């Protein structure tokens, strides 16, 4: 299995809310996508985390906009006057990440209510598992679309890969739930722990890691991602918010 590949045909506009300066583009399949660039600040590893985490969460029943790979010819941004964007497009020639654009969605700020105790606990457990530090009230990286919550922006998760901290260290790295948008759900996390841990099988992890294109990953690193995530699954008492079951 692999992610579908499309080609960017028009650069529409930059999205300046985020730090990585993603853009909205049109694809040759008539789709509209948020493009996340391999040439942005954190480099292709942020895209590796987007694919592994986004596809894992989707398979565990969470709403994540569809992910595709997108070929970029920097020439499509020729008429874009901003020098910073021109440079980013040129650095990002080739394969980038396309996130299905959710038209009319807005950033979750709590005003629309919360998705319920169990849903919040599941999101909190999963963010703790992948060490996602990017789901705070300041920056929820949750979109409300047709009254449902959609999870975006997993590029800061799996941060062990920036320096390749050891699997043992990552396995027991604590997670600071107090900064998480759903920190109120800590008491309910123990109830979803066993079920989520059982659902994350080695073959499920292998499947999502296999979706990362060769262009973004070093040979041999797929096994390291698998090893780190399996080790963390084994050390739940160290990081599950409120404690593992
Ligand atoms: N699939 C999407 N549909 C609609 N808007 C999106 C989508 N993905 C991102 N956005 C908007 O773009 C902003 C930046 O995207 P994000 O993935 O969070 O990038 P960054 O890594 O720069 O924070 C989001 O805060 C949101 O407003
Ligand atoms: Mg963001």
pLDDT in tens, 119-174: 999 999 999 999 999 999 999 999 999 999 999 999 999 999 999 999 999 999 99
User: With pLDDT > 90 as the criterion, what percentage of the chain qualifies?
Assistant: 93
pLDDT score at 80: 87
pLDDT score at 79: 86
pLDDT score at 118: 97
Q: Which residues of 200-230 are buried (b: 16+ CB within 10 A; e: fewer)?
A: beeeebeebbebbbeebbeeebbebbbebbe
Alpha helices, DSSP H, located in the chain: 44-59, 83-91, 117-129, 167-171, 186-199, 202-209, 221-234, 236-239
pLDDT score at 19: 83
pLDDT score at 136: 97
pLDDT score at 148: 96
Ligand 2 mean position, distance from CA 245 (Å): 31
Average pLDDT for 57-79: 96
Ligand 1, atom 2: closest residue by C-alpha:
101
Ligand 2 mean position, distance from CA 135 (Å): 9
pLDDT score at 128: 98
Q: Is the pLDDT of residue 18 over 80?
A: no
pLDDT score at 103: 98
Testing ligand 1's pocket by substitution, the residue of 13, 141, 152, 156 carrying the most ligand atoms inside 8 A of its CB is 152
Q: Is the pLDDT of residue 188 over 90?
A: yes
Ligand 1 mean position, distance from CA 229 (Å): 26
Q: Is the pLDDT of residue 185 over 90?
A: yes
Ligand 2 mean position, distance from CA 109 (Å): 14
pLDDT score at 78: 87
Phi, psi torsion values for 7, nearest 5 degrees: -120, 135
Testing ligand 1's pocket by substitution, the residue of 53, 107, 153, 157 carrying the most ligand atoms inside 8 A of its CB is 153
Pocket of ligand 1 from Cβ distances under 6 Å: 15, 17-20, 22, 34, 65, 99-102, 105, 107, 141, 143, 152-153, 155
Ligand 1, atom 11: closest residue by C-alpha:
15
Q: Is the pLDDT of residue 54 over 80?
A: yes
Write out the residues surrounding ion ligand 2, Cβ under 5 A. 18, 141, 153
Cα separation, 87 vs 76, whole angstroms: 13
Q: Is the pLDDT of residue 117 over 90?
A: yes
Average pLDDT for 29-53: 97
Ligand 1 mean position, distance from CA 240 (Å): 27
Residues 205-233 have pLDDT tens digits of 999 999 999 999 999 999 999 999 999 99
pLDDT score at 46: 98
Q: Is the pLDDT of residue 245 over 90?
A: no
Lowest mean pLDDT among 8-22, 51-65, 131-145, 185-199: 8-22
Q: Is the pLDDT of residue 17 over 90?
A: no
pLDDT score at 36: 98
Residue 91 to residues 40, 41, 156, 177, Cα–Cα distance (Å): 8, 11, 20, 36
């Amino acid at each position: 299995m692999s992610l579908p590949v499309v080609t960017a045909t028009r650069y529409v506009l930059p999205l300046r809310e985020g730090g990585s300066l993603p853009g909205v583009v049109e694809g040759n399949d008539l789709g509209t996508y948020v493009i996340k660039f391999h040439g942005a600040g954190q480099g292709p590893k942020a895209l590796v985390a987007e694919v592994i985490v986004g596809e894992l969460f989707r398979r565990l029943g969470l709403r994540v906009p569809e992910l595709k790979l997108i070929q970029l010819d920097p020439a499509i941004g020729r008429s874009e006057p901003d020098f910073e964007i021109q440079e980013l497009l040129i650095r990002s020639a080739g394969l980038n990440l396309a996130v299905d654009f959710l038209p009319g969605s807005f950033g979750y700020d709590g005003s629309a209510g919360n998705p319920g105790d169990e849903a919040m606990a599941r999101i909190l457990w999963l963010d703790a598992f992948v060490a996602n530090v990017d789901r705070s009230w300041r920056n929820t990286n949750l979109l409300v679309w047709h009254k449902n919550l959609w999870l975006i922006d997993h590029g800061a998760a799996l941060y062990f890969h920036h320096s390749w901290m050891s699997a043992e260290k990552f396995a027991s790295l604590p997670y600071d739930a107090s900064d998480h948008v759903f920190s109120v759900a800590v008491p309910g996390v123990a109830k979803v722990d066993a079920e989520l841990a059982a659902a994350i099988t080695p073959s499920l992890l292998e499947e999502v890691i296999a979706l990362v294109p060769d262009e973004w990953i070093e040979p041999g690193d797929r096994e390291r991602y698998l090893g780190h995530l399996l080790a963390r699954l084994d050390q739940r008492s160290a990081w599950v918010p409120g404690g593992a079951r």
